[in-house]
């Protein structure tokens, strides 16, 4: 007979057919889960699922009180449940637009929160103070990096101007070999324009080659910048080549540095924050610890009048009905459903399925289907009303909890949110993603204590204490909120200390490469 073990398996809802293992246990171990006593029929790794009741082939399997797939064969209580006996299957969802709106009140209102931000001349509030270099095309990427390289960590410029956070070159792989109109072209333009307008950029250089489809002059004319933001467009061909462009751009940055340095942080209300909510390298603990704790922090920010942005449309698939029920209008809910339907058509045209989303790392961490992954991912959105749904990189103007249509791939998703105005990002991870998002600071939240200990130089907060049973979701959520305020006030994140954020700028590419 196995040894009785308690607190090593969680049944998240009373009608769940599976539980989540907190630690790995061998065949024969006895689990006590509420009123159930279950003997393991297989070795089950930490974070993976175990059947708590018998399930017939073809029956739906539930976790979080929701459908995560169907059994591909009979499953007996005590069996390990994963890819060998559980599969994705689409199912009908009741979108019930706005039905749960009365309950979508978020966190109780607390005292007014503030942070020390930088108020720009046009009234926008920055959390960082960068000089930005944008590129119109991949052909100018190396030159842009050469210029930024003159002002790296420890350079004389940063030493002489302590209020300048750095010079960042954001390069990409597009801008030519594309149709100069249509969805793909407009998406790139919208993304670059969003970064140009970002309050964390105090001054901008835009470098192009000169003969690309995405012409520098037309691009910069569409930026709609405040008159107080210096903008210098240049092309390598007009400047006389690589070295001449680097010399001219470097000289201009030296001229701008004193002006950019002339800022002071002042106390501003938390409602000026736009918080991007991201998860990557997820595991089975993501939906139990870091994601719901981040949802609490998002609710706290919304209660302060701020904005929280949830994205990754392929990673809310199968859980979107939990958001439509919180939509403030049928129009908002239907706009979300329309984006889901677009993704269904898009992946089908590529010969894929939205269930192709879970990565090998996700599955090793215990996630089996996109439905299961989505139910954990959507927890980042807290419980506040859904105010608006935005297209990728569209400027976010609404206050409160909003959704942006982005891919699930982390760099592409966060790029869209920052283009939309996110001035702080929180990134939850269970497998151990490394990431940054200049010009917006990015906080890394570990879902389990093991990854926090192994990657302590990359992780800002251990949310694994929730799984360990030493802290509550609400307590960790409030700590995340306070940490967001501190980072918005200038405290550097682990990813900033490591220098992440330049290479992670990745606009979503759609359309033919010609």
Same structural domain, 373 and 447 = yes
pLDDT, position 103: 62
pLDDT tens digit at each of 514 positions of the chain: 343 334 689 999 999 999 999 999 999 999 989 889 999 999 999 999 999 999 999 999 999 999 999 999 999 999 999 999 999 988 888 999 999 887 655 545 668 999 999 999 999 999 999 999 999 999 999 999 999 999 988 788 788 999 999 999 999 999 999 999 889 999 999 999 999 999 999 999 999 999 999 999 999 999 989 888 999 999 999 999 999 999 999 999 999 999 999 999 999 999 999 999 999 999 999 999 999 999 999 999 999 999 999 999 999 999 999 999 999 999 999 999 999 999 999 999 999 988 888 889 999 999 999 999 999 999 999 999 999 999 999 999 999 999 999 999 999 999 999 999 999 999 999 999 999 999 999 999 999 999 999 999 999 999 999 999 999 999 999 999 999 999 999 999 999 999 999 999 999 999 888 8
In a domain, 508, yes or no: no
- Are 213 and 178 contacting, i.e. CB atoms less than 8 angstroms apart? yes
Tally of domains in the chain: 3
In a domain, 510, yes or no: no
- Are 297 and 70 contacting, i.e. CB atoms less than 8 angstroms apart? no
DSSP code for 270: G
**Closest residue by Cα to residue 262 from 202, 322, 311:** 202
pLDDT, position 101: 83
Same structural domain, 126 and 184 = yes
- Which residue range forms the structural domain that includes residue 169? 121-261
Same structural domain, 257 and 282 = no
Same structural domain, 442 and 482 = yes
Same structural domain, 30 and 179 = no
Same structural domain, 59 and 146 = no
Which distant-in-sequence residues (6+ apart) come within 8 Å of 162 by Cβ? 261
Same structural domain, 236 and 304 = no
200-235 as b/e: b if 16+ CB within 10 A: bbbbbbbbbbbebbbbbeebbeebebeeebbbbbbb
Same structural domain, 136 and 56 = no
In a domain, 347, yes or no: yes
Same structural domain, 142 and 217 = yes
Q: Which of 261, 295, 311 is the last residue of a domain?
A: 261
Q: Which of 237, 261, 285 is the last residue of a domain?
A: 261
**Other beta carbons within 10 Å of 340:** 20
Cis peptide before 439 (omega within 30 of 0): yes
In a domain, 230, yes or no: yes
pTM of the predicted structure, to 2 decimals = 0.95
Same structural domain, 401 and 293 = yes
Q: Which of 87, 112, 129 is the last residue of a domain?
A: 87
**Closest residue by Cα to residue 494 from 451, 448, 443:** 443
Same structural domain, 440 and 383 = yes
In a domain, 267, yes or no: no
Same structural domain, 245 and 332 = no
């Amino acid at each position: 007979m196995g040894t009785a073990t308690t607190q090593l398996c969680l049944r998240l809802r009373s009608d769940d057919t599976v539980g989540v293992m907190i630690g790995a246990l061998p065949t024969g171990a006895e689990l006590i889960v509420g009123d159930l006593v279950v003997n393991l029929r297989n070795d089950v790794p930490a974070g993976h699922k175990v059947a708590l009741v018998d399930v017939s082939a073809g029956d739906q399997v539930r976790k979080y009180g929701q459908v995560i797939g169907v059994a591909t064969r009979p499953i007996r209580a005590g069996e390990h449940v994963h890819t060998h006996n559980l599969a994705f299957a689409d199912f009908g969802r009741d979108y019930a637009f706005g039905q749960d709106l009365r309950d979508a009140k978020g966190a109780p209102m607390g005292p007014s929160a503030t942070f020390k931000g930088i108020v720009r001349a046009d009234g926008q509030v920055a959390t960082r103070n960068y000089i930005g270099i944008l590129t119109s095309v991949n052909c100018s990427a190396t030159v842009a990096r050469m210029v930024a390289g003159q002002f790296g960590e420890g350079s004389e410029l940063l030493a002489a101007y302590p209020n300048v956070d750095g010079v960042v070159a954001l390069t990409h792989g597009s801008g030519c070999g594309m149709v100069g109109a249509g969805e793909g072209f407009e998406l790139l333009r919208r993304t670059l324009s969003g970064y140009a307008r970002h309050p964390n950029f105090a001054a901008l250089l835009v470098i192009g080659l000169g003969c690309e489809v995405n012409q520098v002059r037309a691009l910069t004319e569409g930026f709609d910048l405040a008159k107080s933001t210096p903008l210098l467009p240049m092309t390598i061909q007009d400047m006389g080549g690589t070295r001449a462009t680097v010399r001219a751009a470097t000289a201009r940055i030296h001229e701008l540095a004193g002006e950019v340095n002339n800022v002071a942080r002042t106390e501003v209300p938390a409602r000026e924050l736009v918080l991007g909510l991201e998860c990557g390298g997820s595991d089975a603990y993501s939906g139990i610890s870091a994601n719901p704790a981040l949802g609490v922090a998002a609710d706290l920010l919304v209660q302060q009048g701020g904005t929280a942005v949830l994205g990754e449309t392929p990673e809310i698939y199968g859980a979107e009905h939990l958001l439509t029920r919180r939509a403030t209008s049928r129009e908002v809910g239907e706009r979300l459903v329309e984006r889901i339907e677009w993704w269904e058509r898009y992946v089908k045209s590529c010969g894929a399925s939205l269930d192709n989303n879970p990565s090998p790392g996700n599955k090793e961490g215990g996630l089996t289907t996109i439905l299961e992954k989505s139910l954990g991912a959507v927890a980042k959105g807290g419980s506040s009303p859904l105010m608006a749904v935005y297209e990728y990189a569209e400027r976010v103007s609404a206050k409160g909890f909003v959704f942006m249509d982005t891919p699930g791939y982390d760099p592409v998703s966060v790029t869209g949110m920052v283009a939309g105005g996110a001035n702080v990002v929180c990134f939850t991870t269970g497998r151990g993603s490394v990431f940054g998002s200049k010009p917006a600071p990015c906080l890394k939240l570990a879902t389990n204590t093991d990854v926090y200990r192994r990657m302590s130089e990359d992780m800002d907060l251990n949310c694994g204490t929730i799984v360990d049973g030493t802290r509550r979701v609400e307590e960790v959520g409030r700590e995340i909120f306070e940490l967001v305020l501190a980072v918005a006030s200038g405290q550097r994140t682990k990813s900033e200390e490591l220098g992440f954020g330049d290479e992670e700028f990745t606009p979503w590419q759609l359309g033919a490469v010609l």
